[in-house]
Every structure is written in C-alpha cells, then in structure tokens.
Structure 1
Amino acid sequence: MKVVVFGLTVSSSWGNGHATLWRGLIEALHRRGHAVTFFERDTDYYRHNRDLHALPGGELVLYPDWDAVAARARRAVAEADVALVTSYCPDAAVAERAVLDAPRALRLFYDLDTPVTLAALDGGAPPAYVGPDGFSGYDLVLSYTGGPALDALRTRLGARRVAPLYGHVDPAVHRPVARADRFAADLSYLGTYAADRQAALEALFIQPALARPASRFLIGGAQYPADFPWAENIFFVQHLPPPEHPAFFSSGRLTLNVTRRAMAAMGWCPSGRLFEAAACGATILTDDWDGLDSFFACGSELIVARTTADALAAVDLSDAELRRIAEAGRARVLAEHTSDHRAADFEAAVAAAWGPVR
C-alpha cells in the first residue's frame, strides 16, 4: 500500500506522544512492504527540538504552511491507497478536505487522543481537528483508545466503522542497555509535565520520595513549572530524546507510569511509555484504569499502585522480585505489543474496511 499521513509530528518527540509511535509503526509497515509519506507542518517548537531528520522506511515532508504544500498533498492523496488525518494535525481541516476528496484511497482518521476529543465535546468546545460533520466522512476511524470509546466515536461523531490501534514499541529501539549512573534511581518517572497528572504524581512519586529520604528519585521530562514540589532526593533531567530512553529505563529499580486524567477515566488507553519501559526491561509501577489487565497481568507483569502506601510497598520489594516482574512484563510486550503487531492490526483494519490489502 501507499499510505499518506497528515499528522502532528514524527520529527520531534518533544512534548508529545505521537512521534515515537509513528516512527515505530512506519518502520514496521515498511518491513511489511508498504510505503508511508508523512506530512508535518514545520513549527518552531518542533524544529528547535527535532530529533529525527529523515524517516527510515518512509518519506517526511516538512512544510511551512498549507498553501506551500497543497498541490503536493493532493497529488500524494491521488496516488495513495490509504490517506489518513490524525488528531492534533495543525492543518486538519484542509487536510481532511483533501482526504475526503480522494479519488480512490481509503479515507481514515486516526484519533490518538480519543479521551481528550470526547472530553472537549462534553465541554461544548470540539477540538479543531473535528469538523462540523464529525468523523462521518471517513471510511474508517482508528482510535488509540478501545472499550467504550469506540461506541462514543460512532454515536457522538458519526464514525461509520471504528477499530482500536493501540500503543506499541519498536524493540529494536527500546531494549535493555547498560546501566547509566546518571539515571540510577529507586523510582524514576519519564514524562512531560501535565497538570492533570499532578495529583497522581503527588501520591505515587512525591509523597514516596518524602517518606524515603535516603532513596533516590528521578524525573525526566519537559515543561515542569518553577513551583513544582521538588525535594532534596528528587533529581531532574531535561527532556530526553528517544535514543536516551533505553538507558533511562534500564538504570532504575522501578519506573512509574501515570496516565492523563481523561485517558485514565475512559480506560483502555495504554500509554506507549508502558510498552517502551517494559521492552527495556524496567519494572513498571502504574496507576490503575479499566482495561489495564487486557494488556498486562497486574501483579506479575507490572505493579499497580492506587495509594502512596502501594507505591512505597513496591519501592521496598527485593531486587529479585522486581527483576522477576520486569522479565515477565518484557516477555508480554514482545509477544503482543510491538510495532510489528500494530502494523498487522493496521492491515487487518484496512482489510475489513476495504477488502483485501492491495
């Protein structure tokens, strides 16, 4: 297949969860014989934090504004088998028009932020990537979130056909590596600051740090405010590009996953970081949400924490027990949650929507 994507970003992992997912999926699709062209508006904030300049297995088209690329985009769509717009694409409205006018391509929308989309609808302010007709014009809507979210996409946004396309990991990129002293920690957390994650971070990270002053706690990320409640034993490293993630995850005893509030409330929305950390051999401590046990066996493949006491109990586990959980979690990811698995899911969803994959 020739696949054309109009998305948020694939060139910069700064402050977003889209880029790493697209990199893994595009390479997996390439291995399966497909060609992907990704159109990305060249914004200042991603340009200044770009950690990918060419797209292995695909073509990256960076453009300054839609007018500069409109003709090229329409040619690409005309030649495509699948044309796709994603959530938070900055030119979603005009890209949608190009896709819906496609002469032969299967027309897809991929919502990587479904809980945010539906929460915005609840608040009476649909996001800019949702047009006045919702998703009714697309042949297929893929959702990063499964479960009840799929029904909501049908009933509230008019999607005719929906399928989940969950997070995943490329194990050639995220894998166990040598321990790095600067990332050593009893409990680490890698994530961009988000106000709606702060309550969970307080309970599962900051309070445990205060309760274990002799232990080392480490945060890696971006956009943390000046009034963040740091403690003497909480250390910080600035935004880490993906090549440094394996060392981060491989160097601590335990790493924390905290889900955005809207995603946790809806459930069935595994963060790509869950799979990345597990693929690197990290023992994962995570908040709880509906559907989690469909992706990991809670207790044996990762640890679920609902309270500060739960987090402290995890920190106090022996190294041998933490290693056992990490090994089981990594085995589960390699068996079910790699980018190759999601590429196969993508093919199956396309085949169901439009006959056999061409």
Structure 2
Amino acid sequence: MKIVVLGLSLSSSWGNGHATTFRALLSAFAARGHDILFLERNVPWYAAHRDLDAPDYCRLAFYDDLPGLDAWRAEIAAADAVIVGSYVPDGIAIGHYALDHAQGVTAFYDIDTPVTLTALREGRCDYLTAELIAGYDLYCSFTGGPTLDLLEREYGSPMARALYCSVDIDAYRPMPVEKRWDLTYLGTYSPDRQPTLEALLIDPARRMPEKRFAVAGPQYPDDIDWPANVERIDHLPPADHAAFYSASRYTLNVTRADMIAAGWSPSVRLFEAAACGTPILSDIWPGIDELLRPGSEILLAKGSDDIVAWLAEDASAVGAAARERILTGHSAACRAAELERYLEEAQDAAGRCAVAAE
C-alpha cells in the first residue's frame, strides 16, 4: 500500500507520546513492504526539540498551514489510505481536507480516545467532530473494550477497531547497565496523573529515604515538593529510554483519569517498559488484565503501602514474563499486521458500498 499519515509529530518526542508510537508502528509497517509519507505541521515547540530528522522507513515532510497541504494534494489523492491522527493542529479542517481529496480509504488514529470523547461531549474538541467520525472509513482507537461499540453505535463510525500502542523491540530491550533506581516514572506532567504519582511514588519516597527514585519528563511545575531521594530528569530522549528502564528495579505506570474510566487504554510507556524486562507497578483500570496478567506479568498497586511492600521484594521474574508477552502480542510488528488487516477490511467495505451504490 501507499499511505499518507497526517500526525501530530514524528520528528519530535518532546512532551508527547505520539512520536514514539508512530515511529514504532510505521517502521514495522514499512517493513511489510508499504510506502509511507508522514506529513507533520511545522510548529516551533517541536521544531526546537527534534530528535528525528530523516527516518529511513518513510518520507517525512512538513507543512506550515492548511493551504500548505496543497503541495501534497496529489499524494493524498493517490494514496491507498490516508490516516489522520489525534491532536493534529487544525485537525477538523485537516480531516475535511482528507475526506475531500483522498480517493482511497480514510482513517483516524486516535492515540487519546477517552480524552477525545470527553472533549466531544463537552463541545471543546478541536481536532475531531461527530461528523468526521461518521465520515472516516476506519477509526483506529488507542482504547479497546466497550468504547469501540460506542464509536459505532453513538457516533456512526463505519468501522471502529482497537489499535493499541506498541513498541519497537529492537530499540526497547534489556540493557547491561547497573540498577541506579528502585522505582522510576517516565511521563510528561499531567494534572490528573499527578495525584497518583504523589501516592505511588512521591509518598513512598518520603517513607523510604534509603531507596532511590527518579521521575523523567517535561512540564512539571516548579512548586512540586520533590523528596531529596527523587532525581528529576527534565527530558529523556527515546534513545535513552531502554537504558533508563534497565537501570530501574521497578517502573511505575500511571494512567490519566479519562483512560481509567474508559478502561482498555494502555500507554505506550507500559509496553516500552515491559519490553525492557523491567517489572511494572501500575494503577488499576478495566482491561489491564487482558494485556498483562496481574501478579505474574504486572503488579497492581492501590496505594503507597503496596509500593512499599513490592520494593522490598525481587520481581525480576515478573519483568521477564512481561517481556515475553510483549514479544508475542504487543510488538510493533504485531500492531503493523493489525493495521494492514484493518485497512484491507476498510477497502473491502468501501468497495462493497461503491458496488451497492451503482
């Protein structure tokens, strides 16, 4: 297939998980023989923090505004599939542009589905509308479970399918480094995640001054009272993720409130940490047990007491089991095969509709 992707960012992982998600998925998709053009809005905050200029698995090009897409209009029209991502600037206008000019399958890849649906209900989503959901041939969702039925039943999506985040198992693997920290967390600051981070990392750090902790990620407010045994890393580029996880006895998975409510919403960090063989301590949400088995592949924590108890144990076997699960079910290669299958299914459905209309 020839596909065009209009996504938030491929060039910069600064402050977003979209870039690493797209990098893993599209690299594996290209390995299946497909041709990919990624079109990224040229914005100053990503331009100042680019850590991928020339991917070897796709063409990466930038456009400055909506009229700038006309330079790629012929490519969009000729593509077998055009995929628009969530949080793309002017995403509603971009979506209509794709629907107006694409002659192949049109798809939306939502890496933020619960957040998207909350914003739609509250009338404040600036990258998607109910009309666009019904217009796209395929809705690939970061969230599975009952949300897929809701997208089809209430919003009129012709085809909603789970396309969870995944991981490049060549980039994310156990590294031969010393264990520097007992518990770490990698993630951009989010107000609705912060109370869980306080309960599951900061409070245990205060209770266990002899242990070592680290929080990596940008945009944390200056007024957070970090304990002395919590190391802060403002930005950790993807090239350093595997070493970071491998240097951690445990790592923490913290989920946004909307995604806990929807369930079935694993973050890309969950898969990346597991691929490195690092035992994961996670908050609890519906569907997590369908991705990794609690107790043997992932450890669930209700509060700081659970964290304190686990940090006194050796859970290396849990990390090893999680890595095996990722290799067999959640690698980028697995996800690319799913995307290929969904696009072919959407092509077949569109062909049947065209025949019926004649």
Q: TM-score range by the shorter chain?
A: over 0.9
SS at match of 1:118: helix
Match of 2:340 in 1: 347
- Deviation, 1:77, is 1.0
Aligned-residue offset at 1:196:
0.3
What is the number of residues matched between the two proteins?
A: 351
State whether structure 2 residue 252 is matched by structure 1 residue 253.
no
Could you tell me which of 223, 226, 229 is aligned with 1:227? Answer: 223
Map 1:123-134 → 2, pairs under 5 A: 124-131=122-129, 133-134=131-132
Give the corresponding residue for 1:144.
142
Structure 1, residues 264-322: CA drift from partner, whole Å, max 9, x if none? 1111011110110111121111111100011101110111111111111111113xxx1
1:110 equivalent in alignment to 2:109 = yes
The one-letter code of the counterpart of 2:182 is D
Asked if the contact 1:175–1:279 (Cα under 8 Å) also holds between the matched residues in 2, the reply is yes
TM-score when normalising by structure 2: 0.95
Contact persistence 1:77–1:98 (CA under 8 A): no
Could you tell me whether the CA contact under 8 Å between 1:219 and 1:234 is conserved in 2? yes
Q: Offset at 1:76?
A: 1.1
RMSD, aligned CA: 1.7
Q: Secondary structure at the match of 2:61?
A: strand
Q: Is the 2:95–2:132 contact (alpha carbons within 8 Å) kept by the matching residues of 1? A: no
Aligned to 1:91: 90
Identity %: 44
Instruction: Report the secondary structure of 1:195's partner residue.
Output: coil
CA contact (8 A) 1:277 1:284 kept: yes
What are the equivalent positions in structure 2 for 1:317-336 lying under 5 Å apart?
A: 317-318=313-314, 322-336=315-329
Residues 174, 279 of structure 1: 8 Å contact kept: yes
Gapped runs of 5+ residues in structure 2?
350-358
Alignment partners' CA distance in 2, 1:326 and 1:195 = 29
**Displacement of 1:180 after TM fit?**
5.3
TM-score normalised over the length of structure 1: 0.95
CA distance in 1 between partners of 2:119 and 2:150 (Å): 13
Q: Give CA-to-partner distance per residue, 1:42-72, whole Å, 9 cap, x none.
A: 11110111110012210111122222x2222
Q: Is the 8 A contact 1:74 1:98 kept in 2?
A: no
The CA distance in 1 between the partners of 2:105 and 2:39, in whole Å, is 17
> Which residue number in structure 1 is paired with residue 17 of structure 2?
17
Deviation of residue 95 (structure 1)?
A: 2.0
Name the residue aligned to 1:237: 233
Change (3 A) 1:344 1:72: same
Instruction: Give the Å deviation of 1:7.
Output: 1.1
| Alignment partners' CA distance in 2, 1:337 and 1:120 | 28
Helix, strand or coil at the partner of 1:60? strand
Query: What is the distance in 2 between the residues matched to 1:180 and 1:46?
Result: 32
Q: Using the alignment, how far apart are the partners of 1:167 and 1:238 within structure 2?
A: 24
Match runs of 1:201-212 below 5 Å: 201-212=197-208
Matched, 1:73 2:72: yes
Contact preservation (8 Å) 2:120, 2:129: no
SS at structure 1 position matched to 2:97: helix
